[in-house]
Structure 1
């Protein structure tokens, strides 16, 4: 399943204005204005100017908040979004209600206390973002994230992303039995998305500080329902008599492993 562009000219607009360029512009703008975000539960509130509002919308970071203050614009950033801007891009400072700026370790521990699986989710989020995918919440589809090739106004989301913990068990408790695969694949098929599973392997390193992310590795797998009409070559017959096809494919979008199974 390839990109599904929204209308004529959408692909050309995306190529003319790549996401990497937009994010770079946002980074420069936030650094120049010395932007600060405010911790608020499981999100970060960010007061921005008109230029930054446009860049946040174009790069798909956070969501605008409607307030009674007409001269001010506020954005609500998710934890992964806020930490990516703070830790990876170094363009945002975050402070708490006591007006103390949080350093990377303090912010990391705060976010871990709010969500046990934050280290795995953030590694997956940053893995996609650094490859210039737009990443949004996938809660409406029962997954962790939704990945877009460019801005959602130009293209439909391509991947429904599930994040699994490798090496130390499946922390989120999903895809443990075959029926989990069937339900998830049927849901993804009904909304025209490919299921992308990102398995995070901590390689024996604890999550005490954000520096652990350098030791984490990500295994990428796309899983789709097997179709005999589309898969007439290179078939192997499993011991139980069902036909399965396993194909390894390198794609421009960097997904290295595609596994197609019957369901």
Structure 2
């Protein structure tokens, strides 16, 4: 039952697949049409025209502010904006978290905002590991002194240290978590609190000592260039700010991202190939995430990381006839992807001619958005599933 409740809660939290506001959310769904009732047709037409005349709900929403940092990172710093981008499309990654930006929440939990009972199992495990590591260091020192004593090369100062070290190790052995089940709960609580605060002693400047909470979030949401450009060009949901004041339009962002790769603004640019692939699968309803963890370009989720593991791993390949694939590397990647129970998807991208690409870029009669749209429409994506041949499964 708990699993079903969590699944139901996740469906409510991640109900919106993209950070856009639809007309149906503001004006309501279109009315039903009954073929035998002429009034339903009239009412449907009136309601439809009314929705068209009104302004788009997305245009009334303030875009999310995304900052372009000096190192080329696209960062979101507002807590509400970070939460919105993650819950509505799983965009970006917390710089101090594995995926969703939960550093502040996890830190507040460790600072005992709800008492010692709020410690997670990971915190308890980490506490035990730290105690065992300290115990092993002291035990190693004791063993080193005992070895010198057996070899008769120990000095008087080391002999005194040996006796003190024996007492210290014996006391630590009694205090290890495995042998301390009958200790006082208050002492355990105090030890855990001391551990938590000693771990975060370098963060005392941003911790409210009375409420034991973090008053400033040190984490920000880092977006991939293809994610930032998709949110700006495809959804018009963000506003990219450079140098604290300059607002970048879609063409500025497009050129900047292309210049971060070898060759600059050319048809074979890696950023364009990746973005065409990213936009292709996003438009088909897939949740696309970075695949660097498995050595590939992207991962495809049916709904998102909270619901299931990724089903497919994508490798983007330039399909121009001159770039040969290293099949030794491909076999290695296929072995890794097969080991994590995913399908390896080879995406071949056909690029336009350089003359056509240059002609569109230099066409001053087109707007920035029309240029990008015309360029992207000249690319073609072909998907091929790569499977390993396992002799044991195919023999007669």
Is the structural similarity TM-score above 0.5?
A: yes
Conserved in 1, the CA contact under 8 Å of 2:349 and 2:381?
yes
> After the TM superposition, which residues 105-184 of structure 1 pair with which residues of structure 2 at under 5 Å, given as runs?
105-116=251-262, 117-167=270-320, 169-170=322-323, 176-184=325-333
Distance 1:227 1:128 in 2: 29
- State the number of aligned residues: 222
- The answer as to 2:352 corresponding to 1:203 is yes
- Matched-pair contact (CA < 8 Å) for 1:30–1:91: no
Shift of 1:125: 1.1
Once residues 224 and 35 of structure 1 are traced to their aligned partners in structure 2, the CA distance between those partners, rounded to angstroms, is: 41
Q: Give unpaired runs (5+ residues) of structure 2.
A: 23-56, 96-102, 105-205, 207-213, 263-269, 362-370
What is the SS of the residue equivalent to 1:101? strand
CA RMSD of aligned residues (A): 3.5
More helix by share: 2
Name the SS for the 1:61 alignment partner.
coil
Equivalent residue, structure 2, for 1:70: 215
Q: Is the 8 A contact 1:10 1:155 kept in 2?
A: no
Q: How many Å separate the matches in 1 of 2:380 and 2:259?
A: 23
- Specify the SS of the correspondent of 1:21: coil
Distance 1:75 1:123 in 2: 23
Change (3 A) 1:229 1:57: same
**Secondary structure of the residue that 2:17 maps to in structure 1?**
helix
Distance in 1 of aligned mates of 2:335 and 2:61: 47
The structure richer in strand per residue is 1
| In structure 2, C-alpha distance between the alignment counterparts of 1:26 and 1:45, rounded to whole Å | 22
- Check conservation: 2:76, 2:82, Cα contact below 8 A: no
In structure 1, C-alpha distance between the alignment counterparts of 2:291 and 2:349, rounded to whole Å: 18
Question: 1:11 touches 1:154 (CA, 8 Å); kept in 2?
Answer: no
Q: Normalized against structure 2, the TM-score is what?
A: 0.49
State the match for 1:187 in structure 2. 336
Cα distance, 1:82–1:114 mapped onto 2, change above 3 Å: same
What does 1:19-98 correspond to in 2, within 5 Å?
A: 21-25=16-20, 32-40=61-69, 41-50=71-80, 52-58=81-87, 59-65=89-95, 70=215, 74-97=220-243
Following the alignment from structure 2 to structure 1, what is the Cα–Cα distance between the partners of residues 291 and 254?
A: 22
TM-superposed deviation, 1:155: 0.3
**Structure 1: gaps spanning 5 or more residues:** 1-6, 233-263
Distance 1:213 1:90 in 2: 17
Mapped contact 2:20–2:237 kept (Cα < 8 A): no
